[in-house]
A = this chain, B = another copy of it.
């Protein structure tokens, strides 16, 4: 499949590398066509990928992973171009973290709105699915780094897009479909992004990012 990965950070790297490894055609997008981070990634996968601008990548991809830094996601997606996102599934992965006031980061948007919603509102014809933002990038692409069953959330306004994403997460990364929880429409992004402060605290407590939560359910 032709896949765009927007963003050259840790998350974009992990996803793009995994997607190349399993045989997809991947174009990584960044602000400039030939960014140093992009070139580093391309070398790391022995040239088995492509790099370009956000627009180059988005035009190429049948599916788009938005792994940009959440504070800049809207700008990056504008650079990608609304026309290049039209009718495509857009996996919106980044969290709206603000590091400008030091650690721990705060959220640039929360409570009454979310980045997932902002992206869907701005790009009305993209099929936005908020997903993967609740776990570390190594857990995203290899859930078995955390033993046992553990859960991933997703949300979005388009049912068929969520069904596709669920299938891809299972086929590409090894998630179990029973462990993927559809929280409903895109407004559930609020809760998914507001999980970050607790995740960050747990990260600090545990000392590494290879953890996740499992939902335990009793009877009514």
Contact = CB atoms under 8 A, between A and B. Distances in A.
Contact of A111 (B110, B148, B205): B110
Interface string A119-151: 000000000000000000001000001111110
Given A191-B198, A194-B195, A197-B194, A205 B217 contact: no
Interface string A152-164: 0100000000000
A188 B198 CA distance: 7
Contacts of A139: 218
A216 B213 contact: yes
A81 B205 CA distance: 35
A181 B205 contact: yes
Given A111-B107, A191-B200, A147 B218 contact: yes
A172 interface: no
A184 B194 CA distance: 19
Interface string A179-210: 00111100010111011111111101111101
Nearest to A206: B217
Tallying the copies of this chain within the complex gives 2
A201 B64 CA distance: 26
A112 interface: yes
Interface of A: 106-107, 110-112, 139, 145-150, 153, 181-184, 188, 190-192, 194-202, 204-208, 210-220
B181 A191 contact: no
A205 B217 CA distance: 12
Contacts of A106: 111-112
28 contacts: A110-B111, A110-B194, A111-B197, A145-B218, A145-B219, A146-B216, A146-B218, A147-B216, A181-B202, A183-B201, A183-B202, A183-B205, A184-B205, A190-B197, A191-B196, A191-B199, A191-B200, A191-B201, A192-B198, A194-B198, A195-B198, A207-B220, A208-B219, A208-B220, A211-B215, A212-B216, A214-B214, A214-B216
Nearest to A192: B198
A204 B215 CA distance: 14
